[in-house]
Amino acid sequence: MPYELGKTILKTLTENNFQAFFVGGFVRDRLLGFKTEDIDICTDATPEEVKKLFPSSLATGEKYGTMTVFIDQYRYEITTFRAERNYQDNRHPGNIVFETELAGDLGRRDFTINAMAMGLAEEVIDLFSGRQDLKQRLIRAIGDPLQRFKEDALRILRAFRFVAKLDFELEAATKDAIELAMPLLGRVANERIRVELTQIRQYPFRQKAIRLMVDLGIGNVFPEIVPGLDFLANKANLSLTESEFYALCFYLANTDIPDKWRFSRVEKRQINAIIAFLKQAQEGSIDWEIVYQHKLATSLSGEKLLVGLKPTIYKRGRVQSLWQSLPIKKVSDLALGGNDLKEYFPGNDKAIGEWLALAVKLVNSTRIPNEKIALLDYLKQHFRK
Ligand code: ATP
């Protein structure tokens, strides 16, 4: 379906005397027989000309000449042929010169398998032997690999992403260049690195990709995630959320969250909560107090990691059943409030908080029912001076 709709876009462009091709990941995936929903199209029409032909299109990256057409739930990115020059900081293209040439556009792409174009008649334009590399299951940089990774070090992680997605091998010269260029990853913003790492972790062949990353020296740049990566590559093939992944990494590396990863306050809180859960649960077993303190989501994340770390000790399901059996899941579930206590136990708010925590403990350890009178009586009897 998305392909048929995409063809109508190509048709409109060519009928108006523009060149237009499917390009990039879509062509790669189509030749491999995979379905892709995001379709990239390249053309010699300028963004203004694209806008005239597709009035509903939106400039989603006009600086780079990209217009996006939305049809049904699909998005089609139409980009004017371009060649990027003057790389300055290993990441951002300097001048972007519109080129009326498909070859220039394809040549600036990262890997041969990502640099094929396909026209309306399904003819494949393959200037860099991408089809052969698809057949041989190789990820090969276009041109001088070291130069290409120096231009844009993020391509290093993109190479691992395609290993994780396709189960391909790194071509020898590309692999050597990655090893040499790896330190340049240190200059790429960590937010971008996080996005790539997240994608890598979601693909089926993530263990293979992670192992390669570690072997080729990612630890020289990000030593704090290596114990976590090692664990995921060799011990447990877990599918983790971002917070779970970084909690695992920083817990195993026994380090605070390094500032350079630029987590938001909410993210930091989540990561630290999971780490705290791991530390508490490792000291004893998982009991209701840990689950009550950390609540369900954090406890489930912590349990998932513990089951991976120590499968003989921890089993999945305990957190869920403890949580379900808790009569009090938060203080406000108590049949007793701070005001009820103030009457009998005068004191400051901190003291009241402690009485309430005690009441939670009494009910959750099932010694007392969650009823106001019963709780007050018990507290008066046992604790009033
Ligand atoms: P997937 O759909 O599996 O994520 P993709 O190949 O579509 O793969 P995108 O990140 O959407 O990945 O990139 C689209 C295309 O743009 C790539 O196929 C490649 O041709 C080109 N490209 C993307 N990023 C770069 C880059 N950093 N350097 C060179 N070319 C790139």
- What is the structure's pLDDT at 240? 94
Which residue type sits at 125?
Answer: I
CA distances from 75 to 3, 39, 68 (A): 11, 7, 7
Q: 85-99, 155-169, 179-193, 220-234 — which is least confidently predicted?
A: 85-99
Mutate to test the pocket of ligand 1, among 110, 165, 201 (most ligand atoms within 8 A of CB): 110
Bridge partner list, 69:
76
Question: What 8-state DSSP symbol labels residue 174?
Answer: H
pLDDT tens profile 139-151: 999 999 999 999 9
For the CA of 38, the nearest atom of ligand 1: 2
CA distances from 324 to 112, 185, 277, 291, 364 (A): 53, 45, 18, 10, 11
- What is the structure's pLDDT at 85? 46
Residue whose CA lies nearest to ligand 1 atom number 15: 24
For domain 137-221, the question of CATH label 1.10.110.30 is answered with: yes
What is 132-171 written as a DSSP string?
A: HHHHHTEE-BSS-HHHHHHH-THHHHHHHHHHHHH-PEEP
CA 334 – CA 376 distance, rounded (Å): 12
Question: Domain locations in the chain?
Answer: 1-130, 137-221, 223-326, 332-384
pTM, full prediction: 0.88
Is the sign of the CA dihedral 102, 107, 110, 115 positive or negative? Answer: positive
CA 182 – CA 216 distance, rounded (Å): 8
CA 142 – CA 368 distance, rounded (Å): 71
pLDDT surpasses 70 at 83: no
CA 290 – CA 156 distance, rounded (Å): 41
CA 81 – CA 115 distance, rounded (Å): 13
Percent above pLDDT 90 for the chain: 73
- What is the structure's pLDDT at 98? 47
| Cα three-residue angle 21-24-30, rounded to 5 degrees | 85
CA 306 – CA 300 distance, rounded (Å): 10
Residue whose CA lies nearest to ligand 1 atom number 28: 110
Please enumerate in sequence order all residues whose Cβ is within 8 A of that of 265, keeping only pairs 6 or more positions apart, or say none. none
When mean pLDDT is compared over 176-180, 325-329, 374-378, the highest value belongs to: 176-180
Q: What is the mean pLDDT of the chain?
A: 91
Ligand 1 first shell, C-beta below 6 A: 24-25, 40, 109-110, 114-115, 152, 154-155, 158, 165
Mutate to test the pocket of ligand 1, among 37, 114, 149 (most ligand atoms within 8 A of CB): 114
For the CA of 165, the nearest atom of ligand 1: 3
155 C-alpha to ligand 1 centroid (Å) = 9
324 C-alpha to ligand 1 centroid (Å) = 45
26 C-alpha to ligand 1 centroid (Å) = 9
Q: Which CATH class is domain 1-130?
A: alpha beta
Q: Which structure tokens are listed for 240? A: 């983790």
Give yes or no for a contact between 120 and 7, defined as CB atoms under 8 angstroms apart: yes
